[in-house]
Amino acid sequence: MNYYSLNKKAPDTSFANAVIKGLAPDRGLYFPKKIKPLPASFFKNIDQFSYSEIAFEAIKQFVSSDIPESKLKTIIEDTLSFDFPVVKLNDHISTLELFHGPTMAFKDVGARFMARCLGYFNRDNNNDVTVLVATSGDTGGAVANGFLGVKGVNVVILYPSGKVSDIQEKQLTTLGQNITALEVDGVFDDCQDMVKKAFLDESITSNMQLTSANSINVARWLPQMFYFLFAYKQLHHHHDDIVFSIPSGNFGNICAGMMAQQLGLPVKHFVAANNANNVVTEYLKTQDYKPKSSVQTISNAMDVGNPSNFIRIQEIYGNDFNTLKTYLSSYSFSDEETKQALKEIYDLYNYIADPHGAVGYLGCKSYLKTHKNAHCVFLETAHPTKFLNVVEHVIQTKVALPPQIRAVMDKEKVATKISNYEDLKAFLLKS
């Protein structure tokens, strides 16, 4: 499988090189040259396959011969060491819980898969690789945990000061070893811009090998297809018209669902549920794509004003606006609406959601107003205890801390403060 740059000004490359480089030389995101649908019999008989077998069938064409099949199966087994349950709320709405991994966020899947792929590619390399990643919340903790102790890999995480939850900050600043956290005086988009700029700075790249573990990296992005397939396995006997509502920030998650659709997953529609950072919601109304500065919300992992992966979504649907609208709806919701949804979910269904899941739930409700026969699944992307101040205040109930969260609560934060790109550059070059 070869990959091409969506900026169309760089040579095609392999899966391995796309993972190691992260971004193409022309600053474009890599995209697979072709997508071969799985046979219809695969989905008809999906009950016969384990999660690991489903994941292997979904990902193997994108990895190709860069990783031997036996090793790829081991990587998948290691990645999927936790469950992905669907919880029914009512006849038309369910939630897919993606928080049962080590850092209690959906990004555990992509981070663990990428870490193991990069570890394999770097197995005989004496030169270290530096994973440079920006986070608006959960990416940092998932990447830190996924890459902790991986031979020959150093991780540098940029996060916006004061704009991630206390627990999220603990998860990315307390591990030590090969993990370093940089606390940025700015917003997530500033962090992401710094990362992208570093990749194009020859004074850095000539001295060290950089790669990214954001969803711009194909090994972080593509494995997110897995859990859409897992949800289908759990639901297809009971519902014909399954729709996914995805809390959307950088749009890697929903884009992965659309890739699963390209593989043949019998899902006709997706809902991008936005908070106040609603660039895509406005685009689908106006056909005018206007990135803007991100604003801070209680669903902070979605505080992205210029989502990187939207260009991949456009590519999937042939850069045709009308085709895109056939498969994608988008709605945006305020913090106050999100809080009301948290309370409603708890009061009606005795279910504790996190703020991102609550936005996804609101996306379901909006879509179902005009599609009454659909069954809408919203993604519960992080455990509610990551947002205790918001959740407990809204539902007026104490939420028990799971072991994964208790393990980091009392650890000491270690982070280096930076203000601008020159600070980042100086830090990298002295590392």
- Report the catalytic residues: 107
Close Cβ partners of 20 (under 8 Å, ≥ 6 residues apart): 118, 121, 129, 209, 211
d(CA 199, CA 222): 21
Written as one string, the DSSP assignment of 195-241 is: HHHHHT-HHHHTTSEEE--STTSHHHHGGGGHHHHHHHHHHTTT-SS
- DSSP code at position 400: P
User: Angle at Cα 220 formed by Cα 216 and Cα 221, nearest 5°?
Assistant: 65
Sign of the four-CA dihedral 221, 224, 226, 228: negative
Close Cβ partners of 147 (under 8 Å, ≥ 6 residues apart): 111, 115, 118, 131, 153, 155, 178, 179, 213
d(CA 248, CA 401): 26
The counts of H helices and E strands in the chain are: 20, 14
Token couple for 410: 């009392």
